Amino acid sequence: MTHGKQLLAVLGATGSVGVNTLEVVARHPDRFGVFALTALSRVDLLEQQCVQWKPRYAVLGEAAAAKDLQQRLRAQGVATEVLSGPRALMEIAAHPDVTTVMAAIVGAAGLESCVAAARAGKRLLLANKEALVVGGRLFMNAVRDGAAMLLPIDSEHSAIFQCLPEDRSAWPARIDHIVLTASGGPFRTRPPASLHDVTPAEAVAHPNWVMGRKISVDSATMMNKALEVIEARWLFELQPEQVRVVIHPQSVIHSMVVCRDHSVLAQLGTPDMRVPIAYGLAFPERIQSGASQLDFAAMQGLSFEPADRARFPGLYLAWDALKAPEGSAAVLNAANEMAVAAFLDGEIRFTDIHRINEETISAVLPTAADNASIADLLALDARARTIARQLIERVTC
């Protein structure tokens, strides 16, 4: 390990969170070195990042793409070794020289590398909410058994974490409940009757945040908030009813803790992922993030409204899944990943996403055996995907 520096593996380096992470890291060359960068398939961007950061390893999804990148880097005199496939991701995440893993892969595809990092006791910066939604208790057990330091990167969870004392054992006595804020996405005021005509381009155009396509669609359906409710349940060890949601269109308050005495602590800032990323990187210190400051004088006001069940039915699946047999959240997540991909590919309508999710949950009932290991959870995930796919095909024909 480079002496005194954190050495990072950025999993999902070419994505929105990955790129923001490298921007923060670039401001602090004295604190951080880059050991590995990974991507599924964006070879050109990963090549640029490797030329800039000269990591020891890079990982791509497919062997052919890895070979291509390896040749390109050699031609430029860059000594990075390029690997491929999910096993390489796990090895990088658990590599003894890595101190810090940024988990910024999207979807359940990131679960195994997250668990590998947790078991290896890394400082684990978790953006990949689906990994925790699917892994649930087993993920948290891996964090505990590996004595990993799990730091939330999702802005709402970072906000809650910033409002809580460092000593986790003080949390249960302190928290009455938490309130996750949601912008309401691009369709907060669109007539519900017109939602079935929403196009993928409209759905990914988020009013306040620039993000990857999948999470942008999830923000439009509010499934993103549903996943965040489940994520918060595990991160902060709360009962389902201790996690609440309010719509706050300005995205200035990133979330709140309501304490036992009903004092409310909130974290505020511009909607810029570099703030939670910088906090995760430097915790418990604070470092420059590059985000602009809030301008209170220019602010028009902060408003709040309840999340309308008719408009955002997907949100309410979170509490259903948390109260259903364990594993139900993994089923919900798998259905949603399939439905969002089908919507982005033009196969189903925006409003079909919720139907697919709801029908998949009804069709796939997890048992204790589905929760015995991470491999069992991934098998459950695969079963749910098969059912969701059948439902999608029924919609399209």
Of 171 and 209, the one with the shorter C-beta distance to Mg ion is 209
358 burial type by CB count under 10 A (0-12 exposed, 13-18 middle, 19+ buried): middle
Which CB, 154 or 352, lies closer to Mg ion?
Answer: 154
Q: Which is nearer to ligand NAD, 17 or 353 (CB)?
A: 17
Phi-psi domain of 266 (left: phi exceeds 0; alpha: psi -120 through 50; beta: other): beta
Q: Rounded to an integer, what distance in angstroms lies between the CA atom of residue 394 and that of residue 131?
A: 28
Q: Are 380 and 360 in contact (CB under 8 A)?
A: no
Q: Where are any strands of DSSP class E within 39-148?
A: 57-60, 81-84, 100-103, 123-126
DSSP secondary structure string for all residues of 281-346 = HHTTS-----PPPP-GGG------BPPPTTT-GGGGHHHHHHHSSTTHHHHHHHHHHHHHHHHHTT
Question: Is residue 215 involved in binding ligand NAD (CB under 6 A)?
Answer: yes
Vertex 208 angle, CA 210 and 294, to 5°: 110
Is residue 14 involved in binding ligand NAD (CB under 6 A)?
A: yes
Write the interaction track for ligand NAD spanning residues 161-200; mark x where CB under 6 A is met and - where it is not: ----------------------------------------
**Is 370 near Mg ion (CB under 5 A)?**
no
209 interacts with ligand NAD by CB under 6 A: yes
- Contact residue for ligand NAD among 12, 55, 152, 185 (CB under 6 A): 12
Q: Where are the beta strands (DSSP E) in the chain?
A: 6-11, 32-38, 57-60, 81-84, 100-103, 123-126, 149-152, 175-182, 243-247, 253-259, 264-268
What is the torsional sign of CA 320, 351, 107, 383? positive
Which residues between 113 and 142 bind ligand NAD (CB under 6 A)?
127-130
The answer to whether 160 and 142 are in contact (CB under 8 A) is: no
Q: Using the rule CB under 6 A, is 34 a contact of ligand NAD?
A: no
Q: How far apart are CA 298 and CA 9, in angstroms?
A: 39
352 sits near Mg ion (criterion: CB under 5 A):
no
- Distance from C-alpha of 113 to C-alpha of 94, rounded to nearest angstrom: 8
Among 39, 223, 278, 361, the residue binding ligand NAD under the rule CB under 6 A is 39
Shortest Å, Cβ 369 to ligand NAD: 26
| Tokens at 132, concatenated | 């925790």
Among 8, 9, 16, 69, binds ligand NAD (CB under 6 A): 16
Which residue number places its CB atom closest to ligand NAD?
15
Instruction: Select from 112, 154, 218, 381 the one that contacts Mg ion (CB under 5 A).
Output: 154
337 near Mg ion, rule: CB under 5 A: no
Q: Which of 6, 7, 9, 18 binds ligand NAD (CB under 6 A)?
A: 18
Comparing CB distances to Mg ion, the nearer of 80 and 255 is 255
Strands (E), 100-237: 100-103, 123-126, 149-152, 175-182
Residues 102-141, mask of contacts with Mg ion (x by CB under 5 A): ----------------------------------------
Q: Which of 36, 58, 78, 106 binds ligand NAD (CB under 6 A)?
A: 106
- Nearest to 52, CA basis, from 84, 17, 20, 76: 76
Among 8, 9, 15, 133, binds ligand NAD (CB under 6 A): 15
Binding of Mg ion at residue 272 (CB under 5 A)?
no
- Using CB under 5 A, list all residues that contact Mg ion: 154-156
- Using CB under 6 A, list all residues that contact ligand NAD: 12-18, 39-40, 42, 61, 104-107, 109, 127-130, 154, 209, 211-212, 214-215, 273
